[in-house]
Amino acid sequence: MNEPASGRSRGTDEGQDQNRDHEIAHPVFAALYDLLPQSPLLGPHREYLARDLSGRVLEVGCGTGEQFRFAADGANGDLEYHAVEPDPYMRNRAVGKAREADLAVDLRDARAESLPYPDDAFDVVCSGVVFCTVQDPDAALEEVARVLSPGGEFRFLEHVRSDGWRAQGQALLTPIWARAAGGCHLDRNTVERFVSHDAFAVTDVERLELGVFPVTPIVRGTLRRRCEGGVTVPGLGSFG
Ligand X SMILES: C[S@@+](CC[C@H](N)C(=O)[O-])C[C@H]1O[C@@H](n2cnc3c(N)ncnc32)[C@H](O)[C@@H]1O
CA distance 202 to 43: 23
Neighbouring C-beta atoms of residue 228, cutoff 10 Å: 8
Measured from the CB atom, the residue of 135 and 162 that comes closer to ligand X is: 135
Interface residue with ligand X among 63, 74, 137, 152 (CB under 6 A) is 63
Q: To the nearest whole angstrom, how small is the minimum distance from the Cβ of residue 55 to ligand X? A: 20
67 binds ligand X (CB under 6 A): yes
62 binds ligand X (CB under 6 A): yes
Q: To the nearest whole angstrom, how small is the minimum distance from the Cβ of residue 151 to ligand X? A: 24
- Provide CB contacts within 8 A for 163, sequence distance 6+: none
- State the number of CA atoms in the 13 A half-sphere of 23 facing the CB: 5
Please tell me the count of residues contacting ligand X according to CB under 6 A: 24
Neighbouring C-beta atoms of residue 181, cutoff 10 Å: 19
Pick the piece of the chain touching ligand X (CB under 6 A) from 58-66, 168-176, 200-208, 228-236. Answer: 58-66
What track of x and - describes contact with ligand X for positions 176 through 205 (by CB under 6 A)? ------xxx---------------------
Binding residues for ligand X restricted to 74-93, rule: CB under 6 A? 84-87, 90
130 binds ligand X (CB under 6 A): yes
Q: What Å distances lie between residue 6 and 30, 56, 152, 155, 230, CA to CA?
A: 34, 22, 15, 19, 11
Interface residue with ligand X among 66, 123, 142, 153 (CB under 6 A) is 66
CA distance 206 to 111: 27
Q: Where are the alpha helices (DSSP H) in 148-234?
A: 164-180, 190-195
Binding residues for ligand X restricted to 142-161, rule: CB under 6 A? none
- Residue 84, sorted as left (phi over 0), alpha (psi -120 to 50) or beta, turns out to be beta
End-to-end alpha carbon distance in the chain: 36
What track of x and - describes contact with ligand X for positions 11 through 30 (by CB under 6 A)? -------------x------
Q: Which of 164, 172, 236 is nearest to 201 (CA)?
A: 236
Measured from the CB atom, the residue of 177 and 200 that comes closer to ligand X is: 177
Binding region for ligand X (CB under 6 A): 24, 60-63, 66-67, 84-87, 90, 111-113, 128-130, 133-135, 182-184
